[in-house]
Structures are given as structure tokens and as C-alpha cells.
Structure 1
Amino acid sequence: MTQQPFTRRGAIDLSALKRPAPAAPAGAPAAGGGAPAGAGAYTVQVSVESFQAVLEASMTAPVLLVLYSAARSPETAQYAADVAALAESYDGRFLAALVDVDTAPEIAQALQVQQIPQLLVVLDGRPVTQPLPGIIPGAELSALLNELGQQLTAQGVTGRHQPQAGAPATEAGEDDGPVTDPRFVPAEDALMAGDVDGAVAAYQKLVDAHPADHEAAARLAMVKVLQRTQDADLQAARAAAAAAPDDVDAQLLVADLDLVGGHVEDAFARLIGLVQRTADKERDRVRERLLEMFAAVGNDDPRVLKGRQGLASALF
């Protein structure tokens, strides 16, 4: 399947949800039944009452809206469960929202659904792809979601859904402070223990498993900076860089130290200047390090936006 690029169509028309529901087909189950098995932390069964909340959730990260009929087409219910299981593997990058058109016909009417099963990708309350009818094979669906994730990351959409179920409950009044994303616990535990190499390995494993995970990639880039600078002598590094302004290794080390020390713009400026003075493989090394730094700081940071402009000017 060839994936179309994201477009911002109009918001979903919720007015249909206020109209009288059409008569359910003969043999359709009563409202509330037909939920496919396999619901998890990033899967919700959608009712008319909860549909608005699902659209609001799409303001944070994409929602995979799957319309099916458990009573009339059990294979479509299985497909909905398969989509949900795949969504779970992305750890919040997608939320699977499952709609049984027999128990919530108003939603199908609002979406003008003509065929089931149907998959819609919703972001910011709007469909961002053409409707995807029919049962998409697992491998093809996985490739589709990977491509969507990469497109979202390239557009700066990096949010994640919070788990919908299965989160450990806390006692009333208990305040444990900020909750750590469970994906990052092994790496953060390694950092707390002073094991920078272990943190790098943990983040690398996560990025290898989920290449479109922008947040994990940013954290990996930052701990790699810590890894490269953990044994560095700041004064000696600055002296070496000042004595050899075109020594790529010396300049890269000082840029890393500047980044760790919070001198973000200084680090970017140093490497942009180095890009202008180098060529071929050395220039590629500097450019790649600069891109890693951009990821570590965050693509939405105004200093990164300015740095990207500087890099483009230096290259072209």
C-alpha cells in the first residue's frame, strides 16, 4: 500500500451524533456489546458518549480509529483487535480507538462510513489520511504505521498518549512526584548509578526497536554527549581546541562540553563554523554531530531552528 502524505482535512462533523440513530440491522447486538478482545494500555472501546474524548486525545498524538461489526462480520472484529495489538507495540505513539458500528451507529454516520472494516488516522481532531477500507495484512499495516510515525516525527509531531488502563494505582493523597515513562526506566536507572555506557545501551536498544521514536532518539543523543565527555578535562580541551581551530576531534569535544554545560548556542556556532572550514568526510562528521545535537536539544527549541538555518547556510 502506498501511503499518502498527511493532510489537514476538516474537523470531524459531530453534529451527526445529535441526530436520532438509524435503526440497527437485524441481529445487531444491544449497545455495549461486541468489544473485540485484546484491549490494553493504548486501546479504547468507543461509544457515542466517549467519542469527543477520543477526538480530544488526538490533539496529543494520532488515533487509529477502527470501525467494525462484531455481530455481522466477526473477521472485522478480529481485525480491530489486531490493529489494537499493533498499536500497543508503539508504547503510546498511537491510540487504537475501536468503534462497533452496530452499537454506535451514530459515529459511523458522522464519519460517513460506507464500508467496514475501515481505518482512519485522526490527528488534531481531523483525519490525516484517506480512509483505509478493508482488512490490511499485518506486515503491510506495520509498515504503514512505521511510515506514518516517521512522517509525524519529520513534521515535529512527537507526542504520546498516556496509558488508558493497567497503570498501577496509588493510594489516595499519595504524591510520588513526576511519573517516569516506563520505557526509559532502565536507562534512567543506569544514569542514577553512574553507568553512562549502560544508559547509552538501553536507549540504543529502544531506538533500534522503534526507529520512529523521536523522544527516545533525543535521549540517546544526549546520553551519547555525556558518554563522550565523561572523562574530559574542560580546561585542557579548550586549550587544545584554541591551539588547533581546524582539528575536528578537538572542536567536537569542546562543542560537546559546551552542550553539557548549557552553552547550546556556543556549541552550535562552533560546529557551524567548522562545517564552513571542512570538506568531504570531515565535513560529514561535523554535520552529523550537529544533527545529533539538534535532536538532543529538541527540534522545537528556537535555538535549534536558528542552528538549522545556520547549518543550511554553511552547507549551501
Structure 2
Amino acid sequence: MSVPGSRQPSPLPPASLRGAVDLSAFKARATAAPPQHTARPAGAGTPGETPAATAPEAGPGAATVPVEVDEANFPELVQLSSQAPVVVALWAQYSPESQRVRDELGADVAAYGGRLAYATADIEAFPQLAQALGVQAVPTVIAFLKGQPIPLFQGAAAPAQTRQLFDELLRVAEANGVTGTVDGAPAPPPSEPPLPPLHQEAFDALERGDLGAADAALTKALAENPADHEAKAALAQVHLMVRTQGLGQEEADRAREAAAQSPDELDPQLVVADLDAAGGHVEDAFARLVGFIGRNFGPEREAARVRLLELFEVVGPTDPRVSSARQQLARALF
């Protein structure tokens, strides 16, 4: 990128692919980060609230810290289930088996990296919940998804069965648009669809700085599919990098001086327009070529028009600066 306030372009290292010319853009797959919500851990509630039994602090393979459900925070739990499925283990003091399941389930939930929330409910302290859910024995494990209860299992379950149930729960959640996370855990990145083979070949070539191989792969991609807009844009960017590669300060200064002294000489105008575009001054590049087109006719005018259209591809057809320059070009031509 150019230094702020300066018109001198710095070299464009192909491997970094940064700045006005970002050749990795055609590989990017935009994904929106899901919202996050921090569940209130047991024992961290309002003053006077009875601390609940908690599992060890979450970590790799460790149990997650559960929320102990009561009448006050139950609406919050239901609301949370619109962001991520909430697994609720119902237990009782009189049932050691239910306490064991309650504690062990925390590690199973933690293995999902925040994609599941975990809560526990003492049916003796909150009998209304057990009655509303029709729970007749503990341990019973129920999930909430978008406010709706989903029975999972009653009694003890083998770890493999638990994972299978949780996997299915997450599939149902995803089908219903519930893909958030809890406890600040990052959502696992979505799998990225593979690039078409020639696009991947071009990207790999750019990563190792081989502009010739990238050009060849993208040219072949366009020959096979002339409507491949990503390949067309990437090829325009590669061409710009080839034209500006290795231009140092002396060459840039000479080009600018020649362009200033001979405003109607094509080659200096093309070089400086490339330098401006590569350095991020795309409006200056567009204005230079539009001005040349408005003053000239014949083959040189057409060459400037073709270069301008190629720079439009570099910047991107939806960029407002391109839309403005297209209007100016139309006025210059007609």
C-alpha cells in the first residue's frame, strides 16, 4: 500500500495479496459470525441466591459450568434456546444416580465447544418444571430449542448414545436456524466449499509468487467458461501486478513526469494509471484515463478504454467509484 499522503506506490508482493489489489478475494467465502450469549453460571446470580453445585471449569475435555434452573431464571433459559440448544439435566438430592449423570453430562456438553448450553434443575427445588414437563423419574435429560422442550433420555445413557443424541439435536437446531454459541465459546468455522480446480491452481501460484502460472490457470478457466466472473476479475488483477511488478521509485517518478509533460501520450498515462490503481488511488487512475479518452480518438483512445475497463474489474463492478467512472466514461465517449 502507498504511504498515507504520498503518491509513491510500494511494490506489490504477490504472496501478501493485500491492499487495493487483493487477489485472494476470489477465494474468500463470506460468513457471518453468529451472535454470542454468555449464560449465567450457577452461583453467580443475585445476592442471596443459593449457589448450585457446579462442575469443574470448562476446558478441553472438562465439564462445563451449568446453570441451575429456578423459577426466576427459567424465562432466560427459554430465550437462550433461540440462540443455541439448551440441555437440561433434571436431578434430585435423593437420587445419587441423577447427581452422577448431572455432573458427567457437563463434560459431554463441553465437548461441543459452546454450541450447546447446559443447565441443571433440582426437581425438589423447582417442582413446577418437572410437572410441566411430565417428568416422573430422575435422572431425565431434556433439551430446549426455540422455547420447545425435546425429550432426550431418562436414566443413565452411554457416552456414545449421548453424543449421538446431541449430534442429532444440533442437526435439528441448524435446520431451524439456531446456530449460535454460549459461554463466549467461538462457533466452529463452517466448512468452506472447495475452489474450482483452476481457481485453486491460480491461488496456489499466487501464494508462491508465480504470476505466470496464475495467469495461465485463470486464462484457461476463462477459455473453459467465459462467464466465470471471478476468474475474469482475478486475471485483471494479475495483469496489473505483472505491469507494476518491480517498479521502483525512480521508474515511478519518471513515469509521472512523462505523463505530466505529455498528457496526450498514451504509454505514460497507462503506466501512471496502473501505479495509482495499484497504490489504492483508484479514482485518480480512473480520472486520468477518462480524461485521455475524452481528448483523443483512434486506436490510442480504444487502448485507454480497454485498460480502464480492466481496472474496473480490478476494483470490482459494484464499487461506487466504478459506477461513477462508468458514467464519466459514457460522457467522454458520447
TM over 0.5: no
TM-score normalized by structure 2? 0.41
Larger radius of gyration: 2
TM-score normalized by structure 1? 0.43
